[in-house]
Amino acid sequence: MRYWTLTEWLMAGGAFIVGLGVYVYIWNRSKIIASVILLLAFAWVAYTTLDWTYWDVYFKVDWGSGGLTPPR
């Protein structure tokens, strides 16, 4: 695993601050839209960081009677 360089930290920090500023601006304009954006952001983070996708869950979960197997 590689550690981030100072440039990468600065770029990520700047992007976070700009993103937070845009989010606060949207929040002040419409709390419903801001809430939807936040929900989508959490969903995106969960989807990209967790080690599963829709198909993994669909095909690998055992529902009790033999489970599901992917098509051959």
The arithmetic mean of pLDDT across residues 12-27, rounded, is: 94
Residue 57 counted as domain residue: no
Residue 40's pLDDT is 93
Residue 28 counted as domain residue: yes
Residue 69 counted as domain residue: no
CA dihedral sign, ordered 46, 52, 55, 57: negative
CA atoms of 18 and 56, how far apart (whole Å): 35
Query: Tens digits of per-residue pLDDT, 26-70?
Result: 999 999 999 999 999 888 887 777 655 555 565 665 555 555 555
How many domains is the chain built from?
Answer: 1
Residue 58's pLDDT is 59
Residue 67 counted as domain residue: no
CA dihedral sign, ordered 25, 29, 35, 39: negative
Q: What is the pTM of this model?
A: 0.55
Residue 42 counted as domain residue: yes
- Give me the count of residues in the chain: 72
Residue 54's pLDDT is 59
Residue 39 counted as domain residue: yes
Domain that holds residue 31: 6-47
